[in-house]
Amino acid sequence: MDNRNTQTFPGRLALQQRVIPKYRAPFFDLLADSCEGGLSLFAGQPLPVESISTAKHLESAEIVQAQNRHVRDPQSASYLCWQQGVISWLDSQNPDALIVEANPRYLSTYGAIRWMKKRNRPVLGWGLGTAQHGHPLEKYFRQTFLKSLDGVIAYSQRGANEYHTLGLESVFVAHNAVSRRPQQSLPKRSLTFADAPMVLFVGRLQERKRIDILLASCAGLPAALQPRLVIVGDGPALPGLQSLAEQEYPRAEFTGAKHGSELVSYFADADLFALPGTGGLAVQEAMSYGLPVIVAHGDGTQDDLVRQKNGWQVPPGDQTAFKNALQEALSDVNRLRKMGAESYRIVNEEINLETMVISFIEALNTVMVGM
């Protein structure tokens, strides 16, 4: 296949997902715009217990509905999934390349890989990395599955290192992003705090977000450093958190859910973004407004995003470590502003949807050369 333009994929791309979360829609549309033959997505629905908000329609990419057959809960170590209709989908789309989730528990994916191999067309995996623990038989099947692919795209450098450890050679990194490059310039902030520094949290209020740690950490600070704490979001944990805040940190403000342009003033007014639990799609958006961040150590995607020059990573569930990071952050406003400028630089130059798409296209074009 002619590979004249390295910024586009000169063919039709098929991409398998178990489900399509809403936050992935902008990425898939941007990727579709970089595929000269278009992009077809094959995905099904999650289980109700997962509470995943899925994309029903995309502007540039096509969605073909799979019939997901789940065995047990996705959080279970013995979870399996079969996506009915995958071969019919490939027959109808006749793609030049296929990207699949790099998960050996999706049993129908094996047939999709065979379909592509029979036609001498490449298959790339896309995943977080690979756990080094587990039963030896499970590790064997995982390694065998991954080595059947023509390459793997990792969400992070840590994930790429894990794939290399398994002996995989064609490993690419596409830093996980949920936002485009900042559309606004770096906000100008004073070198002194207003009345009190403002610490911001944005996200769905669930137990795993560990807002309790955030409240306790603020309460444990010296009086002169105790911030205005603004918690933006809604969710099942809201009533309990409001009661907890009344007891531990009455200065906390709960705004309810805010979206899109409603969030701009909160990001612009804040001095620091805090994410004490797991998840956190708002981290990149916070960084695009020049905010330093404190996050709980996660799956590797945070390693590339949050560095010593723009924030702090603390062990998950460690309230003392979180409080110490918060105290250190609020003790030096000059350093905090420099860290915020570095946050902005990272999402403007390195980790955003545009660079993520470029990494995918480079991976596709690289494996196509060897076919």
pLDDT in tens, 227-258: 999 999 998 899 999 999 999 999 999 999 99
Distances (CA, A) of 163 to 80, 196, 212, 269: 22, 46, 35, 41
Same fold across 13-180+352-369 and 198-349: yes
Q: What is the mean pLDDT of residues 324-351?
A: 97
The alpha carbon of residue 26 and the mean position of all alpha carbons in its chain are separated, in whole angstroms, by: 13
Domains of the chain, by residue range, sit at: 13-180+352-369, 198-349
What pLDDT is recorded for position 138?
A: 78
Q: Is the pTM value of this prediction over 0.85?
A: yes
Comparing 14-28, 64-78, 105-119, 234-248, which segment has the lowest mean pLDDT?
64-78
**Residues 101, 86: Cα–Cα separation, whole Å:** 13
Q: How many CB atoms sit inside 10 A of residue 250's CB?
A: 10
Write the pLDDT tens digit of every residue in 191-205.
999 889 999 999 989
Burial of 51 (0-12, 13-18, 19+ CB in 10 A): exposed
Q: What is the mean pLDDT of residues 206-214?
A: 93
Higher pLDDT, 96 or 57: 96
Residue 342, phi then psi, degrees to nearest 5 = -70, -40
pLDDT exceeds 90 at position 135? no
> What are the residue ranges of helices labelled H in 126-205?
136-147, 157-165
What pLDDT is recorded for position 137?
A: 75
Q: How many CB atoms sit inside 10 A of residue 57's CB?
A: 8
Write the pLDDT tens digit of every residue in 29-87.
999 999 999 999 999 999 988 878 899 899 999 999 999 999 998 888 889 999 999 99
Q: What is the mean pLDDT of residues 274-281?
A: 84
Instruction: Look at strands 97-101 and 123-127 and give their pairing.
Output: parallel
Q: Which CATH architecture has domain 198-349?
A: 3-Layer(aba) Sandwich (3.40)
What pLDDT is recorded for position 139?
A: 82
What pLDDT is recorded for position 134?
A: 66
CATH topology of domain 13-180+352-369: Rossmann fold (3.40.50)
Residue 49 exposure: Cα atoms within 13 Å on the Cβ side: 6
**Residues 14, 279: Cα–Cα separation, whole Å:** 27
